[in-house]
Amino acid sequence: MKVSLAGKVALITGTAGGQGAVAARLFAEAGATVVGCDVREAHGTARVDLTDEDAVRAWVEDAVAEHGRVDVLYANAGTTRFNPVEDVTSDEWHFVLRHELDVVFFPVKHAWPHLRAAGGAVVLVGSTAGLTGSVTNARVAHTVTKGGVIALTKQLAAEGAAHGIRVNCVSPGMVDTPATRGDLLAEDHPMRRIAGAIPLGRVGLPEEVVRCALFLSSDAASYVTGANLVVDGGWSAVLPGAPVPQT
């Protein structure tokens, strides 16, 4: 099934790299007019600090002024820090809350009236970290924020239904990105061999997550709202065990 976003205007956060850059490309290939933003400089991407509500409001209003509508919001952006509970400082705790919850909530809040007018779709990005704890990755703040994103999805779906707004979430497991290669998949991290515990036998690719978000953003998912689509190769569906045999 070929998914189409022809004629739709899609706001996508975090498009300077990683999954956001892939999303900007695939959404555009599906026919959407993509309006991207990131805290970093990048071609075709507005520079926006998503923790600054006024900056987010201005970004959304500029998009509407230029394109006349908002049909899709893909709140992809996020930055985190990992530490066990006894090592999490107050500054770190609030950094993660700002950079994984505020950066989701502010775009939703300011795009909401325009999504209501269009009967639009929202896709948030959770994580398997919001579903389970981990014995190999100390990530207490990240676990809290991603659990919050999944809960936010359900509340927004409830509030949006009467206005024709669908709200769903994609929750990736381990995905090969520049960010994960620098920490969780680095040679000195205990999770570097995680592929052996994933039923499909490998970590995911950004395109595999984005294609799910693309489906949820489209009319092909017209009867789907409040869902959390886990994209993890079966990782969270099984108990830990011996590495998967490679064939």
- Delineate the domains of the chain, giving CATH numbers in brackets: 72-235 (3.40.50.720)
pLDDT band for position 138 (cuts 50, 70, 90): confident
pLDDT at residue number 165: 98
Band (180; pLDDT cuts 50, 70, 90): confident
How far apart CA 36 and CA 12 sit, in angstroms, is 5
Q: Is residue 222 pLDDT above 70, yes or no?
A: yes
User: Please, are residues 78 and 104 in contact by the beta-carbon 8 Å criterion?
Assistant: yes
Two tokens, residue 221? 């998912």
Measured over the CA atoms of residue 206, residue 207, residue 209 and residue 210, the dihedral's sign is positive
User: What mean pLDDT do residues 124-145 have?
Assistant: 92
pLDDT digits (tens, 9 = 90+) for 75-126: 999 999 988 999 999 999 999 999 999 999 999 999 999 999 999 999 999 9
What pLDDT, on a 0 to 100 scale, did the predictor assign at position 113? 98
Q: Which of 47-61, 79-93, 227-241 has the lowest mean pLDDT?
A: 227-241
What is the model's pTM? Answer: 0.92
Asked if residue 245 has pLDDT above 70, the reply is no
Q: What local confidence, expressed as pLDDT, does residue 141 receive?
A: 95
pLDDT of residue 44: 83
Query: What integer is the mean pLDDT of 208-231?
Result: 98
Confidence bin at 242 (pLDDT 50/70/90): low
Label residue 174 by pLDDT band (50, 70, 90).
confident
Could you please report the per-residue DSSP string of 66-129? HHS---EEEE---------GGG--HHHHHHHHIIIIIHHHHHHHHHHHHHHHHT-EEEEE--GG
Confidence of residue 173 (pLDDT cuts 50, 70, 90): very high
Name the pLDDT band for 244 (thresholds 50, 70, 90).
low
Tell me what the mean pLDDT of segment 196-209 comes to. Answer: 92
Distance, CA of 127 to CA of 146 (rounded, Å):
6
pLDDT of residue 193: 78
